[in-house]
Structure 1
């Protein structure tokens, strides 16, 4: 099963976080679980289609803290395993929000 995990956390930039996250990413990669990961620009562009017409809105947005700032694409045996990855992620980064969606 593949899951896309997107996270929105308060930015935190310290050496301990980088070291711990590096170990976590290496572990998931070596286990063959992590397929892709990365950071995402917080502003981005919102594209909406209404009646065949596109509306394009460029960020930044007022509530940028609610936007996904990073992602991980994982392949696991179950939803519970994906939840465990999220639990371990927040143990490293602290409080935040993660959206988890199964990829078909």
Structure 2
């Protein structure tokens, strides 16, 4: 299973060089172990591309109303949601105060399983007689 994890640090807490060293060590360890698939940070500014009723608009930020800014992200490999939560807790224990938001990634294997399940349901529906609800 893969999860996309966003990280937003608590406001007003600058990070020391020692803190950054610990974080870099964790990233290196989790990369080598296969837990960390990819990671990065966002540069300042945002571009929003929106379509509404066929009209596309592009707006560049930063946006003053944004109180919390997502600073970093990671894609992690985990055995389960609980495992992903533990990985995120470990990250926060080093990163410090802040918030991580996890999203399970719907991958190719999930799409294949969903397609197979839909095909089985369609086959089951076709094998039921429309007249009396009994199987043909």
More helix by share: 2
- Are 1:42 and 1:67, in contact at CA under 8 Å, matched by a contact in 2? no
- Residue 34 in 1 paired to residue 55 in 2? no
Residue in structure 2 matched with residue 12 of structure 1 by the alignment: 14
Partner in structure 1 of residue 46 of structure 2: 44
Report which of the two structures shows the higher radius of gyration computed on alpha carbons.
2
Query: How well do the aligned residues superpose, as a CA RMSD in angstroms?
Result: 1.5
After TM superposition, list the pairs within 5 Å mapping 1:1-104 onto structure 2: 1-9=1-9, 10=11, 12-104=14-106
Flag structure 1 segments of 5+ consecutive residues without an equivalent. Answer: none
Unpaired runs of at least 5, structure 2: 107-136
Point out 4+ residue stretches in structure 1 off by more than 2 angstroms: 10-13
Q: Partners in 2 of 1:63 and 1:81 — Cα distance?
A: 34
On the 8 A contact 1:42/1:64 being kept in 2, the answer is no
Deviates more, 1:6-15 or 1:92-101: 6-15
Taking structure 2 as the reference length, the TM-score comes to 0.70
Contact 1:40 1:69 in 2 (8 A): yes
Count matched residues: 104
Partner of 2:116: none
